[in-house]
Amino acid sequence: MMTLETRIDLVGNSMRTIAQRLSERGFQFDRPAAILPGPEPGARKAIARIESEIGAVPRALRLFWLEVGSVDFSGSHPEWGGCDYPDALVVYPPSLAIEELEEFLADQEERLRCDLPYLVPIAPDFHHKANVSGGMWYNVSVPAVADDPPLNDEWHGTTFVGYLELAVRWAGFPGLSRCPAHSWPVAELVGDPITGS
């Protein structure tokens, strides 16, 4: 069985390959600077702040933030269709988790009274990614409940790394799995799939 470190490393390498292939095939990214910018300079400090205020950040998320950073495959291709909600792979950088932490701390008593604990935002839900009003953003719980925690409010019912691996298998767009008639060249974009997960 592969270690969490190896799985994150494989996912990161696969994301870089897919991003390059998407670009080569004319995919139009919504935010080119956010595709795979690498780890944020303040990532370690952000993790330490979350852990001092709330509790342990899940190991898988910590590894991802420190090794890969963040990712945003939001965008479209003029010739690829057949799926209204492709659920582009997005993982927010830790600075966004700090913004959410600040909002939580400013209203902590009321939020806890209403059973609204601090959650680390991971990505918009698949509706919001398509610019349609949707539901709660994908998130993970803190303090950590597992090294590779459940990805809350995401429709596959999997873990954080499980979702990343699933997204990679679908060329960064796991929503395509619900669209059998789509015309996206998934096999060409993915190349060699991640194995052993």
What DSSP string runs through 101-167? HHHHHHTHHHHHHTT---EEEEE--HHHHTTS---PPEEEESS-SSSS-B-BT-TT--BHHHHHHHH
Q: Is residue 170 part of a domain?
A: yes
* pLDDT in the model for residue 194: 47
* pLDDT in the model for residue 134: 67
pLDDT at 37 over 50: yes
Q: Is residue 102 part of a domain?
A: yes
Q: Is residue 63 part of a domain?
A: yes
Among 66-80, 81-95, 122-136, which stretch is predicted with the lowest mean pLDDT? 122-136
Q: Is residue 8 part of a domain?
A: yes
pLDDT at 195 over 70: no
Give the residue among 146, 132, 125, 188 at the shortest CA–CA distance from 59. 146
Q: Is residue 62 part of a domain?
A: yes
Q: Is residue 112 part of a domain?
A: yes
Domain that holds residue 37: 4-190
Q: Is residue 195 part of a domain?
A: no
Among 117-121, 123-127, 145-149, which stretch is predicted with the lowest mean pLDDT? 123-127
pLDDT band at 1 (very low <50, low <70, confident <90, very high): confident
Among 86-90, 93-97, 114-118, 132-136, which stretch is predicted with the lowest mean pLDDT? 132-136
Sole residue written with tokens 């890969």? 68
**In the predicted model, what is the mean pLDDT of the chain?**
92
Q: Which tokens in the block code for residue 74?
A: 């939001």
Number of Cβ atoms within 10 Å of the Cβ of 127: 14
pLDDT band at 136 (very low <50, low <70, confident <90, very high): confident
* pLDDT in the model for residue 135: 74
- The structural domain count of the chain equals 1
Q: Is residue 197 part of a domain?
A: no
pLDDT at 7 over 80: yes
